[in-house]
Each structure stands twice: as structure tokens, then as C-alpha cells.
Structure 1
Amino acid sequence: MTTATAGERERTRRRRPLVIALVVLLLLWLGTVATWAVVDAGRDGVIVVGGGTDQESVTAPSGALSISGSLTVPLQPGMGERLDLVILNETDAALAVSGLSVRIADVVAPNATAELGCSVADFAIEQSTFGFELAGASSSSLTGAGAVAADLPLLSMLDTDVDQAGCVGATLALEYAAVGTPA
């Protein structure tokens, strides 16, 4: 049986902040989820935008809306962050964008254990009711379209009565959806 020497323990202790910083950067990078549009054939003139959990960029098909966005800081228990999502209108026509929603599709928590869990239940989303008109072949962030902070979707980590250390370094896969109707 081998035991760590004092020098090995010291090196491990000094590397811990670097590892934490790398995990935070990875969380921010993976938090950006590109989405693609799906045309709802049952509703004339309406484009329903659905999201996915793919971590690579996805090119939206021609004639579609797409939504992207991510957190800019890691979440902590009891705190939240507003998502200033960007919507791209790839059609030639102006669209009235409404019904924006955000959903947590998956939580990947490498530090979670049976005793220290981390799941979708540790997070909450306050949806946006903001709607706006988006010119054809253009994009806009929600704030660029006139939304104020209170209009933006709010993603929060709940502060529960249990130890949430299992959520440290967790990555959230987000799905976005909106409806675009001819303006």
C-alpha cells in the first residue's frame, strides 16, 4: 500500500484551483447550446423553434429561426442569472416572435454521488413573456429587441435544505423554444 508524501499532497492542493477554474470554463463553454427550427406543418405561417442538447454548433436549415445563449457565470445555491438569448430569423419575412421558453434538458454532475445528488430538481426557470418583431434575415438579442432585465428568462439554482456539493462543476444542457408568426 502506498501513501502520498507531503510533497504530493501539496502539489495536489496547489492544482485544485486550476482544476476548478478549468471546470468552470468548461461549464460556460458547454452551457451554450445551439438550437434548430422545426416547422409545424399543422399551423400555417407559424414556425415553432425547438431546441436540442447537442454541444456542437448546429446550422439551422434555411427558412428557420434559431435561438442561442448561455450563462456567463456559474450558478450558486440561491442565486440566478438572466439569459439574454439571441434569436436569428433566417427567413426573408419579418416575424413576430413570442412564446419563448427555456427548459433544462439534462444535468451532468460529475461530483454527484448517491449521498450528494444533483438533478433538474436543483434548478428553476422563470420564463419570459417578452415578444417582439424580428426583421427578415436578421438577428437580435432580447435586450437588443427592447427587453429589460425583468423580461429575460431567469435560470436559478435552488437553495435547498440538503448538501448540494454534488452540483459543483455540473453542466446544464438547455433547450429553447419560441413561436414566429408572419408580422
Structure 2
Amino acid sequence: MPSIQELFHSPLRIVRAGAKVLLAGLLLVTLTSGVVLAASSNGNQTTPKGITLQLAPTSRSVTQGTSASYNVVVQPSGGFAGNVALTISGLPAGATASFSPAVVAVGPGSGSATLNVSSTSATPLGTYSLSLKGSSGTLQSAVVVISLTVTAGQHQPFNISGDPTGLLAPGNAVPINLQLTNPGNSSLNVTGLTVSIAGVTRTAQAVANNRPCNPSDYVVIQFSGSYPIAAPPGNSSLSGSGIPAARWPQVRMLDTSLNQDGCKGATVQLSYSGTGQGN
């Protein structure tokens, strides 16, 4: 029985080096080494729509009670065009953030916004990682992390002053409406208000007649209100803070069995102290 020659068919058509043959939508390219590669006849690839956030700088440092700003650039890709809402998370206690504008219009080019982060005198010290992202409908950007470091501010001294609101007489007390002057840019929490008698200045006539008057002729009744007392930047007072006069510190002239004529017309010098935290 005569033999029948078997036929074998290669899955790829053999072509000569450098030749190109179009088969079933595939472009066959034979390299000079004899390797045959297959590639799509359509070389275009579609880039998906997306948005990317870029921030500068990526880290800032602020003192308590101050703010820092970052520049945010929203870059579209894949032909995206629309409004992108910006959000932030990871803020420390007492800090707030705002974007200007809060919604950025992009496409075909990029858009930009300014991120402002404000701290307060109560914001804890430390370094914080803040996470930012942009969204437009169901489309969201990758999260971008930036750094914020909060440091202690320069504590500026505040001043306390005040005068008795009336004339002193034996057995009589007069209240002192303390005045607080805060030179800082954020509110102070004031505690430990103390009034002391620093000295007594007699009239010339009392001195000439050798009539004594001493700090021991007076006594101070200290502030009895609750703490802390808020002292905003600038000038404030106990009365302006809504504290009744009955809670103010008072100076009382003692009524003793000794001759106190030397205290008539005398001037009592007072000194003040207290503690302020926050500026």
C-alpha cells in the first residue's frame, strides 16, 4: 500500500526577514534573527481618566496660634475635565484647614488651590501627617501625605494693672477692676491672680507731723472668681469678662485702735501677678 505523505501546517506563516503579512488582524513582523512576533494592528492605547494631586511644600512648621499654607495643583489625565473637591484628614486637636477654592475646575489643563492650616494656642506640640485627596463623583485621586509640625510659640509677657474704685477709710474695702493687657496674637488663659501692697506714700503734711501709715494698715482680699480667665489679644478687664464686682480682689483699710491720721490722703501702691498660658 503506497504511503501517504503527512502534511503539517505551521500556526504561523513563515515569511522572509523584513517581510510583513497581515493575518486575521495580526501584524506579523519577522526580525532578522528569524523570531516572529505578533502585534495588534491598532497601536493606540487608551489612558483612563484620572486626577493627581501635587503639593508644595510637602512639610511646614508653625508655632502655636499661627497658620501655614500649601499650594495644591490638581493635574487631570486621560482627557478628564470637571470639578474636583479637595478634602483633608489627620489634623491635630484645635487645628482647622480650608481650601481656596474648595472646588477646583480642571481640564484640559491643571487647576490649583491654596490649603491653609491654622493652629491655636491649645494645639498639642508635635509632627502630624495630613492626608489629602481630590474627588469628582466616583473618581478619586491617590492620597497625598504632607507634614505639619507644631512648635511652642514665643511667650510674650502680659500686664496686669488696676486701681481701687473708691476711697479707703478705716474698716472700708474697695474692689479692684483688674485690667489685663495681652500683647500676643492669641487668647491667654489667666490663672493665679494676686494683688499685694507694695508700699504707702503719705502726704507731705503727714510726713511733716510724723503721722505714721504703713502697709500693715491695709489688707488684700484676693480674687474669688473661677479660673481660667480668658484674656484676648489687646486689653480686657474683669468687668468686661462678666465677672461681678463681688468676686474682684479688694483692698481693705483696717480699723485699729492706733492713730491712723497719717493714712488720710495716702496713696497705696499695689503690685499684681498672675500666670498666662497660650500665647
Task: Answer yes or no: same fold by TM over 0.5.
Answer: yes
Pair 1:121-2:216 in alignment? yes
**In structure 2, C-alpha distance between the alignment counterparts of 1:46 and 1:68, rounded to whole Å:** 22
Counterpart amino acid of 2:261? A
Task: Please name the residue that 1:101 is paired with.
Answer: 194
Structure with the larger helix share: 1
SS at match of 1:93: coil
1:124 deviates by 0.5
- Indicate the percent of aligned positions where both proteins have the same amino acid: 34
Q: 1:146 to 1:76 in 2, by over 3 A?
A: same
Task: Please name the residue that 1:88 is paired with.
Answer: 181
- Runs of 4+ aligned residues of structure 1 deviating over 6 Å after TM superposition are 44-47
Structure with the larger strand share: 2
| Cα RMSD, aligned residues only | 2.3
Q: Which TM-score applies when normalising by structure 2?
A: 0.41
Counterpart amino acid of 1:171? T
2:231 aligned to which of 134, 139, 142: 134
Task: Please name the residue that 2:250 is paired with.
Answer: 154
Deviations 1:62-101 (A, max 9, x none): x321112112322000001000011011111211011111
* Unaligned 5+ runs, structure 2: 1-151
Conserved 8 A contact 1:94-1:133: yes
Conserved 8 A contact 1:112-1:118: no
**In structure 2, C-alpha distance between the alignment counterparts of 1:46 and 1:107, rounded to whole Å:** 36
Task: Please name the residue that 1:65 is paired with.
Answer: 158
Counterpart amino acid of 1:133? A
**In structure 2, C-alpha distance between the alignment counterparts of 1:123 and 1:46, rounded to whole Å:** 38
- Larger RCO: 1 or 2 (CA < 8 Å, sep 6+): 1
Deviations 1:97-132 (A, max 9, x none): 111111111111131578742100000100114331
Pair 1:178-2:271 in alignment? no
* Unaligned 5+ runs, structure 1: 1-43, 48-62
Q: Which TM-score applies when normalising by structure 1?
A: 0.61
Conserved 8 A contact 1:87-1:140: yes
Conserved 8 A contact 1:98-1:178: yes
**In structure 1, C-alpha distance between the alignment counterparts of 2:202 and 2:211, rounded to whole Å:** 10
Conserved 8 A contact 2:196-2:220: yes
SS at match of 1:78: coil
- Paired residues, number: 124
Conserved 8 A contact 2:193-2:272: yes
**In structure 2, C-alpha distance between the alignment counterparts of 1:115 and 1:163, rounded to whole Å:** 11
